Amino acid sequence: MVTATAGAHPNLALVKYWGRRDADLNLPENGSISVNLSGATTTTRVTFDGALVQDAVTLNDAPASTPTLVRVASHLDRVRALAGIATRARVVSHNDFPADVGFASSASAFAALSLAATRAAGLDLDLHDLSVLARKGSGSACRSIPDGFVEWLPGWDDASSYARSLAPCDHWDLRVVTVALPCEPKLISSPAGHRAAPASPFYLARLKEMPHTLDVVRRALLERDFASFGLAVEREALSLHAVAMTSQSEGAPWLSGILYMEPETVRLIHAVQLWRREGLPVAFTLDAGPTVHLLCEGASLEEVLAAVTSATQGAAPQVIVSRPGRGAWLVDDSDGAEAPSDTSQAMWKCRAFGE
């Protein structure tokens, strides 16, 4: 039996991936930029065991559902093909964050699984190859492999579509305040949203604008220019939602468009815009769900938290604060953690930054 354990954070897209060029390989139509979220972690242990006749998957102390088992087993097949082995595996995975909080748990899940499974299979992939592998499990998982602030290069084929670090965790004392509002399960999953997106008349307009959006966000991030950064990140999130709202989901012909926001989401967005008018440097972003992620610099955190508390009274949100997080890491049972083979991306600086 050979075992390895890995951890990974979910990531929050600042410029978002919406729409795929190749659904089998998870090749995106556009590049994206993200930050890893230190406030949430998936930890996954993989054991290849010759005594197993099929893969066994436990998530948060319960057997995985059939669709999840199938998805994890397909990913293990990719690892077995790379390693030239046929042995089945036992996967035990745990999230230290609630499922309904609006973090992309498939990103941290497939990043941790990719690292743990390749190591347990005797492989030592570099960050590029690990990111390519993770992408095939879940598109945005490729962005949880490198460190800190990350850009996913869309590429044109399997090998050229991968994520790399734009800046290490300690580049900018940015905070993400995730405000998860209680709500019903969403009607349309993000894979279905990706499929529906090209039906929107605004889809091509968004893609046309994308090189400019990427340039503005990348530059503002590298120059720590919060004012330009915040406005560009907000417009980008709203543009994804404009596409979603005007998409046609093939599985739901009764839906005129996909509306991921809830009334509380919209109320909080209005509040953020007013806070900014009053001088508080804060911005929001949204994924394919009602959770609002607020962005601010460390110096404004206390003020932002106080504003959120007073704006959401009665709504009982779950609030999780993150710093920029490191990329996927190996957990060494003897002393805690060990870095993947390529440590060139300041993997360890993140620890000094409070993780």
Q: Could you list the residues that contact ligand PMV (CB under 6 A)? A: 13, 16-17, 32, 104, 106, 138-140, 190-191, 287-288
Of residues 104 and 167, the one with the C-beta less far from ligand PMV: 104
Which residues neighbour 137 within 8 Å (Cβ) at sequence distance 6 or greater?
71, 75, 78, 106, 109, 110, 113, 114
Least distance in Å: CB of 223 to ligand PMV? 22
Residue with tokens 């998530």: 59
Nearer to ligand PMV, 4 or 292 (CB): 292
Nearer to ligand PMV, 38 or 138 (CB): 138
- Residue 140 Cβ, how far from ligand PMV at the closest point, in Å? 3
Contacts of residue 120, defined as CB under 8 A and 6 or more positions apart, other chains included, come to 2, 3, 4, 46, 47, 48, 89
* Dist. CA 62–CA 229, nearest whole Å: 41
Closest CB to ligand PMV among residues 107, 350: 107
User: Cβ of residue 172: shortest distance to ligand PMV, in angstroms?
Assistant: 20
- Min. distance of Cβ 180 from ligand PMV in angstroms? 14
Burial (Cβ within 10 Å: 0-12, 13-18, ≥19) of residue 223: exposed
Which residues are CB-contacts of 260 (< 8 A; sequence separation ≥ 6)?
Answer: 186, 188, 241, 244, 286, 287, 288, 289, 290
* Shortest distance (Å) from residue 240 CB to ligand PMV: 6
Q: Pick between residue 27 and residue 311 the one whose CB is nearest to ligand PMV.
A: 27
User: Which of 13, 296 has the CB closer to ligand PMV?
Assistant: 13
Shortest spacing between CB 209 and ligand PMV, in angstroms: 16
Sequence-distant (≥ 6) Cβ neighbours of residue 213 within 8 angstroms: 15, 232, 235, 236, 239
Which residues, 6 or more positions from 302, have their beta carbon under 8 angstroms from its beta carbon? Answer: none
